[in-house]
C-alpha cells in the first residue's frame, strides 16, 4: 500500500540519484527508492546481447533508454551502436550513463521514433518517425521499444543477420505474436527467459535470416514527420554530444 502511494504521488517529484542496473550505474533511481540496485534488470535482453554481439559488429538499437543495453553491446565488442530514442529526456540520461563508463565514441544516437510510438518515456517533442524499412544496415538489430515491436517487424525491408527482441505483452506485443513474425523471416528463434518477470516478457533471439515473405516490406512504409518543436537551448545541449544526430524530413 505504501509503495503504491509513493509511486503514485511522491516518486516523480523527487530528485534522481544513481542506481545500479545489471551492474551499470545510471542516474535513474529516485532519492527515496527502497531499492537502487537491480541485478536482474532486463536480464534476458542483456544476456542475449552478450551472447550474440561479436567483435566488429554494427548494432542498431531501437530504444536507447538509460543506455544500459548500449553499454552491454559495446562491452561485447560492437564497433558501432546506432541507437534510436524518441524521448530527449532519456537521451540525456543515456548519454550520462555512457559518460560515466567512459564510452560514447562508438555510439550515434538519433532523436527519432521507429514505427509506432506505443509507450515513449517522457516527451517525444522534436522527434521524427522513421519507417522500419529505412533503418540503417546492421549486423544485429536490438529492439527494446515498449510495444512497438510488432509494427517494426512488420515494416522491415531486409532482416539483419541477428534480431534480438524484448517482448511486451501488456503493451500489445506478446511473445507468441513476436515469435511468429520472427519465424516468418528467420530460420531459428530461441528464447531467453526473465526469471523475475511478472508480465510475461521474454527476450527472443532470431538468427539465420531467410528473407521477408513476398520479397518485400510487409506494410507500406510511413514517411517521417515531425512531432513537434524542440526549444533551441535543449537542441544545443544535445548537440554538445558530437554523435547525436537529428533525423529530419527528406
Which ranges constitute the DSSP H helices of the chain?
2-5, 43-52, 68-75, 88-100, 149-155, 175-183, 232-239
0.85 surpassed by pTM:
no
In this prediction, the residues of the chain whose per-residue pLDDT falls under 70 are 118-123, 196-198, 212-250
Alpha-carbon torsion (191, 177, 59, 122), positive or negative:
negative
Per-residue pLDDT, 169: 81
DSSP H or E stretch at residue 111: strand 107-114
Per-residue pLDDT, 248: 41
Per-residue pLDDT, 38: 93
CA distance 177 to 219: 16
Q: Bridge-partner residues for 58, per DSSP?
A: 80
Per-residue pLDDT, 221: 37
Written in H, E and C, the secondary structure of 168-191 is EHHHCECHHHHHHHHHCCEEEEEE
* Cβ-count burial 63-78 (b if 16+ within 10 Å, e if not): bbbbbbbbbbbbebeb
Per-residue pLDDT, 209: 94
Judge: domain 40-242, CATH 3.40.50.150.
yes
Domain with CATH 3.40.50.150 in the chain: 40-242
Per-residue pLDDT, 244: 54
Per-residue pLDDT, 2: 76
Amino acid at each position: 500500500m505504501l509503495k503504491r502511494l509513493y509511486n503514485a504521488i511522491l516518486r516523480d517529484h523527487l530528485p534522481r540519484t544513481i542506481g545500479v542496473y545489471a551492474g551499470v550505474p545510471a542516474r535513474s533511481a529516485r532519492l527515496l527508492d527502497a531499492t537502487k540496485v537491480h541485478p536482474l534488470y532486463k536480464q534476458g535482453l542483456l544476456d542475449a546481447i552478450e551472447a550474440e554481439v561479436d567483435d566488429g559488429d554494427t548494432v542498431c538499437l531501437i530504444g536507447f533508454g538509460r543506455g544500459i543495453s548500449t553499454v552491454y553491446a559495446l562491452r561485447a565488442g560492437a564497433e558501432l551502436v546506432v541507437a534510436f530514442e524518441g524521448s530527449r529526456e532519456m537521451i540525456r540520461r543515456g548519454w550520462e550513463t555512457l559518460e560515466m563508463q567512459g564510452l560514447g565514441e562508438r555510439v550515434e544516437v538519433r532523436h527519432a521514433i521507429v514505427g509506432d510510438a506505443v509507450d515513449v518515456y517522457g516527451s517525444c517533442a522534436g522527434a521524427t518517425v522513421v519507417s522500419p524499412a529505412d533503418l540503417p544496415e546492421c549486423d544485429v538489430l536490438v529492439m527494446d521499444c515498449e510495444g512497438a515491436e510488432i509494427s517494426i517487424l512488420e515494416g522491415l525491408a531486409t532482416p539483419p543477420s541477428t534480431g534480438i527482441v524484448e517482448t511486451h505483452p501488456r503493451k500489445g506485443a506478446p511473445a507468441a505474436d513476436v515469435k511468429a513474425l520472427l519465424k516468418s523471416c528467420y530460420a531459428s528463434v530461441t528464447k531467453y527467459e526473465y526469471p523475475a518477470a511478472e508480465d510475461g516478457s521474454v527476450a527472443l533471439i532470431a538468427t539465420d535470416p531467410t528473407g521477408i515473405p513476398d520479397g518485400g516490406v510487409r506494410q507500406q512504409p510511413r514517411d517521417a514527420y515531425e512531432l513537434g518543436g524542440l526549444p533551441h537551448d535543449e537542441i544545443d545541449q544535445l548537440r554538445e554530444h558530437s554523435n547525436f544526430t537529428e533525423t529530419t524530413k527528406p
